[in-house]
Structure 1
Amino acid sequence: MPTQLSHRPATVADLDDLVGFPQSPDELFFCYPKAVWPLTVGQLAAAMAERRNSSVVLLDGRPAGFANFYQWQHGEFCALGNLMVAPWARGHGVANYLVGVMEQQAREHYQAKLMKVSCFNANSAGLLLYPKLGYQLSGLVERRNQLNQRVALLQFSKAL
């Protein structure tokens, strides 16, 4: 049976499911560098309150993915943030679908001409995903991880 993907705005009722998506301190760092392991409802609720267009992807009716915009400039760009996929839903196209949903929202709600995404050098899944979806490397900046080690944050962008 084919999997059924849909999406809707994220709600407070989703938080209990969503905080279980990151499976390690590294995974949490990749999707929410400012958060402290383990991800809590309070941390994610705070992110949702200061960000825009928090969205949930449902796979066969279950919350399977989440993302939002951490920057948005009307008529210019949106920056994708907090992208995370439930462990049980990985490999089912959730991230591809979710990025597409967020691109559509960037165009429709903000008339954005560009979508920006950032990905840490150790995040293989992200580094493989974004170029496949048409994103091109646009920058590289140094950051510090949760252990205060130097890491590279690769910046990608895509014309919408």
Structure 2
Amino acid sequence: MSSALSHAVLSHRPLADTDIPTICGFPRDAEELYFLFPRAVWPLTPDQVRATLGIRRDPTVATLIGDGRERVVGYANYATFEDGRTASIGNVSVDPGLRRRGIAEYLVRTMIDRAFDHHHLSELTLYCFSTNTPALLLYAKLGMVPIALETRVTPWGEPIALFKLRMDRAGWCSAAPIAA
């Protein structure tokens, strides 16, 4: 863990409206925005994020708490949700200055735990573009397996592969670390 994270506590909580401007700063350019929020238009605005809240479930932020302050460093939600059955994790994004330091893993684990332990879902899915190798490796590490591949066309006209990954409750429960 980096020195920026070593003295802070990583936590999570529901999204607050005051968090939205921070989340809008996570994508660094139009291409990155497409990978994080495929239906959004550059630049990401608070109104675009707010517009998704009516169709998304459990919007969650990851926070760093240190020196008496809380800093929003990640965001995720369920893009789709069927009570008692399935959900799809969406909009996983992390502060660009803190990427590859465990925040995405913490946030995705939080969403997986909530899906299976709180909502009692039988399965969980997510979509990830083929060019996002760090995310694909993270999802594989967590036990998600590819089940489909779709072809999409980026806003700049290039074809791109979109993986659908899946995990079931039994697989997560057998892989989840045991609390001490």
Q: Shorter-chain TM-score: which interval?
A: over 0.9
Report the alpha carbon displacement of residue 114 of structure 1 after superposing the two structures with TM.
0.9
Q: Distance in 1 between matches of 2:7 and 2:87?
A: 32
Q: Distance in 1 between matches of 2:149 and 2:11?
A: 33
In terms of mean alpha carbon deviation, does 6-15 or 22-31 score higher? 22-31
Query: What is the aligned partner in structure 2 of residue 28 from structure 1?
Result: 33
Task: Give percent identity, aligned residues only.
Answer: 36
In terms of mean alpha carbon deviation, does 121-130 or 61-70 score higher? 121-130
Taking the TM superposition and a 5 Å limit, the aligned residue runs for 1:60-139 are: 60=65, 61-139=70-148
Deviations 1:12-56 (A, max 9, x none): 110111100011212111111000111111111111222100000
Q: Distance in 2 between matches of 1:143 and 1:25?
A: 16
What TM-score comes out, normalization by structure 1 length? 0.94
What TM-score comes out, normalization by structure 2 length? 0.84
Whichever residue aligns with residue 115 of structure 1, its letter is L
- Retained in 2: the 8 A contact 1:77–1:114? yes
Unaligned runs of 5+ in 1: none
Are 1:19 and 2:28 counterparts?
A: no
Query: What is the aligned partner in structure 2 of residue 141 from structure 1?
Result: 150
- Structural RMSD (CA): 1.3
Query: What is the aligned partner in structure 1 of residue 46 from structure 2?
Result: 41
Unaligned runs of 5+ in 2: 1-5, 170-180
- Retained in 2: the 8 A contact 1:72–1:110? no
Q: Distance in 2 between matches of 1:59 and 1:117?
A: 25
In terms of mean alpha carbon deviation, does 14-23 or 143-152 score higher? 143-152
In terms of mean alpha carbon deviation, does 103-112 or 90-99 score higher? 103-112
Deviations 1:59-105 (A, max 9, x none): 23210000001111112111000110001221221111101111122
Aligned partner of residue 75 in structure 1, secondary structure: coil
Report the alpha carbon displacement of residue 5 of structure 1 after superposing the two structures with TM.
0.6
Q: Distance in 2 between matches of 1:140 and 1:11?
A: 34
Whichever residue aligns with residue 155 of structure 1, its letter is K
Aligned partner of residue 14 in structure 1, secondary structure: helix
